Homo-oligomer: A and B are copies of this chain.
Amino acid sequence: MGQEYQELSYHSDPLPSLPEAVSVGGSAGIAAQLRRAIVEGAYGLNERLPAERELANLFKTSRGTIREALRRLQELGMVDRQIGSGTFVTYRQFSEHTEIADVTSPLELIEVRLGIEPQIVRLAVANATAMDIERMRKALLKVEAAAGDPETFSKADAEFHLAMAECTRNRLMVWLYQLVNETRSHDQWAAMKESILVPERIAQYNAHHRHLYNMIAKRNLDSALDTIYDHLDTARNDLVGAVRTRPN
């Protein structure tokens, strides 16, 4: 039972090797073809493969053989299967590994935000129009309404900060902050969200948000700056706490 896996996993990485040498019949051959189709990008990440019965027709074989082939792909960690839904690709192309978000640590992100966001506050206080303030208010209501769920709160929080960035009326600043936000929303942080975003912490963040909105609307630069520094310091301390293995 183990022999066929060696054949698959050994020459696995980039090249299709030569499957014909092994008399490409049966489930092993079908598994090899499907694997090759996936690594070559015929089926992208999270895309659905044809249903088992469909594949059986396509390959002119029985469903049992298809199932055996898919079982091997599943053991290789290339696909995930869900009853009633289908078989989905979990294999990541190598090119998708090189994103900045993947090599950015939470502390690095906070360091960058500590540079950009206070400046955003300064420019927002100086340049925000009534329309900008109104957009910010809507974003504030949205993030406050999302206080119950860490996931939606996280998205709404990003939108609020982006609305604040738009108050600067500086397109380069908005563009840069969008890039920061993209890094921020990368799924690398998913696990951390759960442990950090407890209700009381969300409440504290939202108090910061509301005060930021009020101070920008009132053009109170000093108080707004105090708040954004407080906000980011809190976030930084939370991150350090979240990665700490032992309490102090």
**Which A residues fall within an 8 A CB radius of B?**
2, 5-6, 9-11, 13, 16-17, 19-20, 22-25, 28-30, 33-34, 36-37, 42-43, 47-50, 54-55, 57-61, 77, 90, 92, 94-95, 97, 100, 103-104, 108-109, 111-112, 114-116, 118-120, 123, 155, 158-159, 168, 170-173, 175-176, 178-180, 183, 185
Task: Specify which chain B residues have a CB less than 8 angstroms from the CB of A25 in the assembled complex.
Answer: 10-11, 48
Q: Is the CB of B108 within 8 A of A119?
A: no
Contact B108 A5 (CB under 8 A): no
**Subset of 9 A-B contacts with CB under 8 Å:** A2-B57, A10-B24, A10-B33, A10-B60, A13-B20, A19-B37, A22-B50, A111-B168, A111-B173
Closest to A138 in B: B80
Residues on B with C-beta less than 8 A from A42 are 17, 20
User: Which residues does chain B contribute within 8 Å of A112, judged by CB atoms?
Assistant: 119, 170, 172-173, 176
Chain B residues within 8 Å of A109, by CB = 172
- B183 in contact with A108 (CB, 8 Å): no
Chain B residues, CB < 8 A from A116: 115-116, 119
User: What chain B residues lie within 8 Å of A178 (beta carbons)?
Assistant: 92, 94
A54 near B111 (CB under 8 angstroms)?
no
Measured between alpha carbons, how far is A104 from B29 in the docked complex, in Å? 32
Tell me the complex Cα distance, A120–B23, Å: 42
B17–A34 CB distance below 8 A: yes
Q: Do A9 and B59 touch across chains, with their CB atoms under 8 A apart?
A: yes
- Sample of 11 more A-B contacts, CB < 8 Å, known A28-B48, A97-B175, A111-B170: A2-B58, A16-B33, A17-B34, A19-B50, A19-B54, A19-B59, A23-B43, A77-B185, A111-B123, A114-B119, A172-B183
A94 to B171, CA, bound (A): 11
Nearest B-chain residue to A162, judged by Cβ: B92
- Identify the closest chain B residue to A20 (Cβ): B13
* Contacting pair A175 B100 (CB below 8 A): yes
Residue of chain B at shortest CB distance from A175: B100
Q: Find chain B residues with CB under 8 A from A104 CB.
A: 171-172
Q: How far is the CB of A183 from chain B (nearest CB, A)?
A: 6
CA distance A59 to B120 in the complex (A): 43
A8 smallest CB distance to B (angstroms): 8
Residue in chain B with minimal CB distance to A95: B175
Complex CA–CA separation, A111 to B171 (angstroms): 11
